[in-house]
Amino acid sequence: MSTATAFAPHTTLIAAFPADRTLPNTELVPGLSETEWAEIGKKLAATEQGSCWQIGDWMVYGEKNYSRPGDKHRAITLAVQATGLEKVTIRAYAEVARKVQNANRVSGLSWKLHREVRNLAADRQKELLLEAETFGYSAKELRATIKGGDAAEKAKPIKVSLTPEILAKLKSHAGNTALSSFLASAVIPEWLEQRETVAA
């Protein structure tokens, strides 16, 4: 359960869940009863296609509609009962869904990468997520970039334009290594060495 989907934050989920278990991109309409809302959550949790984003957006909807004065935990209690997920898991999904709006979500990146940028300003979120997509950052690499740690200081990101063919070759050679790490440890040093040899 990791990739983002084109869901409008807090409003788009499953209004009718078909028997074939596909996930239509339909609105979660205002005014759902607690029972209807809980049923949607149950079905999201029961399918492999129910994502962190969908459950997070579903939970935010629940927080807005089913928490009551004197019982602010009602929505999370209902969510745990409906999905069988841990409270901490549902809260994490909801936090990221609430803080990373749909316009900033990058469909090719994991939910974990989005979690890393959740506490940043919206424009910085988008900038870093696009950078992570371009350079193939892992969550650890993105965290280092955000914190300005050693990894970010040693290798300031640069933008390069690659043809799809060259990008495919680089990814193939990188194997299971993050593309940015492969470029930094193998391709760029070799290129610099060749340039020094030519210059000498």
pLDDT at 110 over 80: yes
pLDDT band at 27 (very low <50, low <70, confident <90, very high): low
Q: Which of 19, 116, 22, 99 shows the shortest CA–CA distance to 59?
A: 99
CA distance 69 to 58: 20
Residue 143 in tokens: 């965290």
CA distance 186 to 191: 9
Cα 28 to chain centroid, rounded:
21
Buried b / exposed e over 19-39, threshold 16 CB at 10 Å, is eeeebeeeebeeebeeeebbe
Residue 53 in tokens: 């984003």
Where are the domains positioned within the chain?
1-99, 110-156, 164-199
Residue 159 in tokens: 């933008």
What pLDDT does 1 receive? 39
Arithmetic mean of pLDDT, 179-187? 69
What pLDDT does 200 receive? 60
DSSP annotation of 71: B
Residues in Cβ contact with 107 at an 8 Å cutoff, skipping those fewer than 6 apart: 3, 4, 5, 6
pLDDT band at 156 (very low <50, low <70, confident <90, very high): low
CA distance 104 to 179: 23
What pLDDT does 192 receive? 67
**For helices 87-99 and 52-66, what crossing angle results, to 10°?**
90
* Residue-wise pLDDT tens digits, 50-93: 588 889 989 999 998 888 777 778 899 999 999 999 999 999 99
Please say whether the dihedral angle defined by the alpha carbons of residues 77, 110, 126 and 50, taken in this order, is positive or negative: negative
What pLDDT does 172 receive? 80
**Mean pLDDT of all residues in the chain?**
76
Beta-carbon-side half-sphere exposure of residue 187 (alpha carbons within 13 Å) = 16
pLDDT band at 193 (very low <50, low <70, confident <90, very high): confident
Q: 70-79, 151-160, 173-182: which range is least confident on average?
A: 151-160
Arithmetic mean of pLDDT, 34-57? 84
Q: Which of 7, 78, 10, 68 shows the shortest CA–CA distance to 38?
A: 78
pLDDT band at 16 (very low <50, low <70, confident <90, very high): very low
Count the Cβ atoms, other than its own, within 10 Å of residue 97. 27
What pLDDT does 22 receive? 33
| Secondary element (H or E) of residue 27 | strand 26-27
Q: Is 122 or 161 the better-scoring residue by pLDDT?
A: 122
